[in-house]
Amino acid sequence: MKKRNGLHGWVVAAGLLGFMPGIAIADTTPTFVDAPCDFPIVDDAVRERLRCGTVSVPRDAAQPSEGTFEVAVVVKRSASPKAGMAPVLWLHGGPGGDQVQYAGRSATDVFPGRDVVAFDMRGGGRTGPALCQGMPDALVQHIRPALRGENPEPALNAALDACFAEVAAAGLKPEHFGTVRNVDDAEAIRAALGIERWAIYAPSYGTTVAAEYIARHPSVIESAVLDSLYPPDAFVHSVREAQGRAIGRLLDECARDSVCAARFPGLDRAAADAAIAALESDPLPFHLDGQRYLADERMLRFALHGLFYDETSARTLPWFLDAVVRRDGEALATALGLPVMLADTSVTPDTGVAYLGLLATECRDRPRHHAPHQGPGPNWMTMFIGIPNGVCRAFPLGTAPRLPIGTTAPILILSAGYDGFQPDGDAVAAAIGPAAHAITIPYSAHGVRGAGECPRRLIADFIGDPSTLPDTACVNAMTAPPFLLDVRPMPRVIAAGIATQAGQPPAAVVGGLGGIALLVLAGVVAPVLRGLWRRLRRQPVSGPRTGGIRSLAIGGGLVGITGAVVAVAGTFQFAPGAVGHGLDPAFALALWTVPLGGLVAVIGLARALASRQWLIAIAALGSAVACAALLAIGLTPWG
């Protein structure tokens, strides 16, 4: 009885305190705290539609003393809102990706009449924290020794240990991460914004979060589009099988294309799979900047993986695989050596992924990362990180994500025909139940929405009315980029472009720009200014006859530069698939103008010096230097 009276007293006291002025019971409802939208925004009209801020969430709800994450959130209001339309939650890919910074880049309503909400998940983007930032550089730097046949694991393990030490020093624990935490954060954001229900659009890893979210909170989900699945481990194929399936689809398409079939006769999945697997014991040699490297199966599959993220680059696969089958490593030097080119710059590559978010989430979610690697070929983590076992040693397994089996929430699964990771969308839809439907977009790479207007319309139509499957007639009308049939490898040119983009232009690029400046200033600007000056002073404009020498001096440089521009711009415009490897052979013929133009400029320089035409001599020198620089960076017609 006393205990009852005591409890009753606490209840009464608590009730009285709640009504006493100046005293309140703590409110645990999440709160949205507004903040400036400090990212690129296309115009003021879009800026007016954006609301940015943070929602504070506990790192671990069971241990409130362990601190909080300030989750970065953005709301993009519709330009033409429609009453009663639920907002759309955009769940980004990764893990370790972000979405907030992209909210202001377009004025278009992705989902007409609906607001869009996005947040950066734990460990990435503006939510952070920004830890393990040395990992991208470590991963790039390990490629060179790996391609030399050396063991990169000690250096990579050291980088991982440094990452884990940073995480521990920041007071973070493994249980602060994982898909289940990201779902908790989505629910906190929904509560903070006062949203009753919403639809979901989720690409790549976002599909993992979306599936778990629907499984746990089906009543708050109106519908969901899962674009390029990342399902539970039971549905994830091995690297060999996943890439093999995509290779098979592309080579089947090549066989049905008369031009591609004639260029690569007899090339099929079996031949490609065998040639790639053979690299494990007999690596493919290639040269880059005078050094010899060896690409094993893991390194070649790493290069292949990048091709599956874009429709145009995916259509280079027959050419790429034909070179593998023929063991022509020099043809693939650019693709295989790209990480080496990146490593030669001191700029950390922007992979678009925060490795804290990637490692912490993958290790907490995926049982397969904790099992010793067995079976032929690399596993996914080995291919990306370079360590076969032990990557997750600091992040023990948490709660594995799941599918929303038996849900009634309408789900549309979009699969890409050119995706080198893509699981079987039909099998996943069947496992979920009758509420899920799968559509394959044949001519699409990973991230189906990026393949054009048709998949964007399918997504918007399903979100707009999930009770009806969208009309797929546009899928059959889609066309694929042309197959790449041949390419002139240009590794030196691409290496120079990477270094220049990183703010570290090679001496040849600097010299070439200097030569162009001399050509323009001495050959065009100075003569025009001198002519104007003489007219103002009413002096005779005519002088010694120099037309022939001037034509040689200026024309030689212009011819060489124009030829290089035609070769590069023509490839970009008409053979974009070749850009990652070199130049289209037809446009590369224009490079003969570079040495020819340089020779003409040298003749002009000699004649200008002989006739003491100093200004023309400077212009001729600029022309000659510009052409020599183009040849020095690799824009040569002779390979």
The alpha-carbon radius of gyration of the chain (Å, integer) is 30
Q: Which residue, among 228, 274, 611, has the nearest Cα to 423 in the 3D structure?
A: 228
Q: Which fold has domain 35-131+171-236+405-477?
A: Rossmann fold (3.40.50)
Q: What is the pLDDT of residues 330-388, one digit of tens each?
A: 999 999 998 888 777 766 666 678 999 999 999 999 999 998 887 888 999 888 888 88
pLDDT at 580: 87
DSSP string, 358-372: HHHHHHHH-GGGGSP
**Binning pLDDT at 50, 70 and 90, where does residue 544 land?**
low
Cβ atoms < 10 Å from Cβ of 564: 23
Region 3-14 average pLDDT: 32
pLDDT at 4 > cutoff 50: no
pLDDT at 445 > cutoff 80: yes
pLDDT at 489 > cutoff 80: yes
**Which residue type sits at 13?**
A
pLDDT at 7: 30
Region 379-398 average pLDDT: 89
Domain residue spans in the chain?
A: 35-131+171-236+405-477, 239-343, 488-527+545-632
Give the CA distances from residue 174 to residues 67, 158, 159, 369, in Å, rounded to whole numbers and listed in that order: 14, 19, 18, 15
- Find out whether 526 and 560 touch, Cβ atoms under 8 Å: no
Region 26-51 average pLDDT: 92
pLDDT at 18: 34
Pairing between β-strand 116-119 and β-strand 88-90 as defined by DSSP bridges: parallel
pTM of the model: 0.89
Average pLDDT, the chain: 91
pLDDT at 325 > cutoff 70: yes
pLDDT at 547: 67
Region 314-332 average pLDDT: 97
- Find out whether 256 and 299 touch, Cβ atoms under 8 Å: no
pLDDT at 545: 60
